[in-house]
């Protein structure tokens, strides 16, 4: 196998551990200098390839690359950019191949969710059509945990840990004040079509009656009257009520409880505002004092409470992508495989991209209680190992010590620019 260069890019919303995957990719590449040349990273994701803005990671020290394992955000920049369908326009994909040819790139590692898997698959197909040898491998990443054919998605475990911890700590606050003040607390979490993040809040409960008392999932239709009745009954029984609501919660007809008509680059409606909407319902119907919080970016940026299991997953799939590429594989996604048995263990596998792209894995109904407001023991058994362990970043002067990379761009070789 001839020595060729690598292009690595981060796509979509970042996570607390996506840089651990970058660390795994770069370290594994550096360990194979006879087969792999320079590792380029896309500045701001796939847009970096289209604009020929390539970051030369060889300028980064081994210490800086190692520090990526404990650094949140996207070290090289990410983007929400929807590549066109091949049938609609080949121009973008042909541009990618032109850039790859100019910089002798033979390995394409795309770190993202379902839309990224689709892009990776299309790059593989157009390269084959153009008779350009490139191995395209998708590195899984999404806090939503909705990628199919993998037990879990790197990025989810740390969000799940953050939400479970936040739910428990906020619940202790509300319980302390409920006798004379706030009786309802609502936490809004991410999750468009799948309720995995909301479900993770259920790990906060240690015994019957513990918060969260009500979890709202996108998979379960929302009924206002039933919800209000459940809140009232919970307050009568426990003195307060803690609600965790997925941003994608919908009515029976599929209409969002709250959202925007605006769409992002992937065609998804801008979500948010479920918590204040629910709070208004409670205030109008029951008159109780309430507080709400919207976890938003905090939940996916909280590297200081990352799950060690999640960090290990993220790093491992990055390394495995390189290893599988060196084995000659392409058009696959690296997967995490849970081993059978009560003691949690895992290994790495792979799945064809055509069975991953643009598909979503939702919560099984067996993971949600019959009344639709909680998680079952089966869900708890699945979720608990994913938040296990601590992997604290180093601290300096009381703050996490996160590195800054040089992110040096290489000289462009193509005469034409590309408008994105």
Residues annotated as part of the active site: 144
Find residue 335's DSSP bridge partners. Answer: 349
- CA 245, chain centre distance (Å): 18
HEC assignment per residue over 399-415: EECCCCCCCCECCCCCC
Pick from 25, 37, 33, 35: nearest CA to 66 = 25
Q: Give the three-class secondary structure for 377.
A: helix
CA angle 150, 156, 158 (to 5 degrees): 140
- CA 274, chain centre distance (Å): 20
Pick from 316, 319, 326, 323: nearest CA to 106 = 326
**CA–CA distance from 82 to each of 109, 252, 265 (Å)?**
17, 30, 6
Whether residue 306 contacts residue 314, with contact meaning beta carbons closer than 8 Å, is answered with no
| CA dihedral (114, 245, 363, 324) positive or negative | positive
Give the Cα separation of 74 and 12 in Å (integer).
10
Q: How many CB atoms lie within 10 A of CB 180?
A: 7
Residues 6+ apart with CB under 8 A from 107: 4, 5, 6, 7, 36, 134, 135, 137, 322, 325
Would strands 241-246 and 184-189 be described as parallel, antiparallel, or unpaired?
parallel
Give the Cα separation of 14 and 299 in Å (integer).
11
Q: Give the three-class secondary structure for 80.
A: coil
Pick from 17, 23, 310, 16: nearest CA to 8 = 23
**Which tokens hold the place of 66?**
């190692």
Give the Cα separation of 338 and 344 in Å (integer).
7
């Amino acid at each position: 196998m001839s020595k060729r260069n690598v292009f690595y890019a981060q796509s979509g919303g970042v996570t607390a551990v996506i840089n651990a995957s970058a660390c795994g990719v770069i370290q594994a590449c550096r360990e194979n200098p006879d087969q792999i040349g320079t590792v380029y990273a896309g500045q701001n994701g796939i847009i970096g390839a289209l604009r020929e803005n390539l970051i030369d990671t060889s300028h980064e020290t081994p210490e800086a690359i190692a520090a990526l394992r404990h650094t949140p955000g996207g070290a090289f920049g990410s983007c929400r950019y929807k590549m066109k369908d091949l049938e609609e326009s080949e121009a973008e994909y042909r541009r990618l191949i032109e850039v790859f040819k100019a910089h002798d790139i033979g390995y394409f590692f795309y770190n993202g969710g379902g839309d990224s898997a689709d892009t990776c698959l299309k790059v593989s197909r157009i390269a084959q059509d153009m008779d350009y040898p490139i191995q395209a491998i998708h590195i899984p990443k999404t806090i939503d945990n909705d990628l199919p054919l993998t037990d879990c998605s790197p990025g989810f475990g740390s969000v799940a840990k953050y939400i479970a911890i936040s739910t428990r700590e906020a619940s202790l606050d509300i319980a302390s004040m409920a006798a004379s003040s706030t009786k309802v607390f609502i936490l809004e979490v991410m999750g468009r079509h799948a309720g995995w993040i909301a479900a993770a809040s259920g790990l906060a409960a240690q015994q019957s009656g513990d918060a969260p008392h009500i979890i709202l999932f996108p998979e379960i239709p929302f009924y206002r009257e039933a919800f209000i009745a459940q809140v009232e009954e919970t307050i009568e029984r426990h003195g307060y009520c803690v609600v965790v609501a997925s941003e994608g919660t919908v009515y029976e007809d599929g209409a969002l409880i709250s959202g925007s008509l605006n769409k992002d680059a992937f065609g998804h409606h801008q979500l948010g505002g479920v918590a204040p909407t629910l709070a208004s319902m409670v205030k109008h119907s029951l008159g109780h004092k309430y507080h709400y919080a919207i976890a938003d970016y905090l939940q996916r940026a909280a590297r200081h409470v990352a799950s060690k299991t999640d960090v290990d997953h993220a790093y491992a799939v990055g390394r495995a992508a390189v290893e599988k590429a060196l084995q000659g594989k392409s058009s696959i996604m690296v997967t995490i495989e849970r081993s059978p048995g009560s003691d949690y263990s895992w290994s790495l596998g792979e799945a064809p991209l055509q069975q991953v792209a643009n598909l979503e894995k939702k919560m099984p109904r067996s993971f949600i209680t019959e009344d639709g407001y909680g998680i079952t023991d089966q869900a708890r058994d699945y979720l608990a190992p994913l938040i296990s362990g601590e992997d604290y970043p180093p601290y300096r002067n009381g703050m996490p010590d996160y590195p800054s990379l040089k992110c040096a761009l290489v000289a462009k070789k193509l005469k034409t620019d590309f408008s994105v």
